[in-house]
Structure 1
Amino acid sequence: MSYTEKDIHFREIITKAVCGKGRKFTQATHTITPSHSPTSILGCWIINHSFTTDKVGDSVEVSGSYDINVWYSFNNNTKTEVATETVTYVDSIPLTVVDKNCLDDGIEVNGKAMQQPTACEATISNSGNSVLVQVERDFHVEVIGETKVCVAVNPHGCDDDDKDLSFEDDLDEEFEDLDPEFLIDDLD
């Protein structure tokens, strides 16, 4: 059965959908000041990462914090200590895909750390009494909201004769022919 253009009607449906997306990779340097002047850096790691997301215009702000732990030696490598400092950050992530039809009421902003903040390098500063820690962060964000979708509607409904079940029947026959005792050994 063929339909003419006048037979097809359109409806606007309001539905939840992803109305904006963005991703950002950030590198930052933090200065940690231990209680003693370090002689050498023995290790550096980041723990206790937490963040929140908020839509601001056509971007999403990721606000978070984490603890940086620096294990260092001092007093000419005769003693060690761990310096811990909590740092905060705000990353503004522009939305590369934006649906202008998204209704602002009840939007939801989701953020995912594609890579947890990672300490890439820790070095003693030129002054000798602090440690410079290079950190990488990577976030993907989505804005979910209500938007309108326009769909074509056939006023005559669906024709049940259009269902073709022969494909499913063919699969049933093929499964019946399978040997359940057949196993493949390693091909090494």
Structure 2
Amino acid sequence: MVQERTGAATLVGQPITLLGPELKVGDQAPDFKINKDLMTEAGLSDYKGKVKLISVVPSLDTGVCDAQTRRFNQEAANLGENVVILTISADLPFAQSRFCSIAGIDKVVALSDYKHGSFGQAYGVLIKELQLDHRAVFIIDADDTIQYVEYLREMSEHPNYESALNALRELVG
């Protein structure tokens, strides 16, 4: 039985239900199954040994999601080889690829949760009413322990970029 968190967030002020647990700092990061493209899947183990910043967006075709992805892509160049930034949405992989190529996104790895919703359920961001992933940021250390979590209360708001980036910089020294 998947946990339902009714009213855990809002979309333009209207309550939405998030499926899955609310993860906390110190939790072991759950594994997931997600798509790199239509046929190739990936999971947490594909990024083993790296510090991971996971930027979750509902759809890359919206203004806040676009800005969030561009911001983390811009910062990625200064974070070192041991850091990977993943942007996860329920967009189809070819839409993600098109967006990244048009927007010049070349340092962030775009992954799609469209097929299974596995990431969304494991990380407590799958929106029951929309089957999209709710905006959030997770930082996971090289041992797959969660070191930073931000679930946005209102889906249309920006995450706290500085807070996330400061936590990431502290982690990678």
Interval containing the TM-score (normalised by the shorter chain): under 0.3
* TM-score (structure 2 length as normaliser): 0.25
Q: Which has the higher strand share?
A: 1
* TM-score (structure 1 length as normaliser): 0.23
Larger Rg: 1
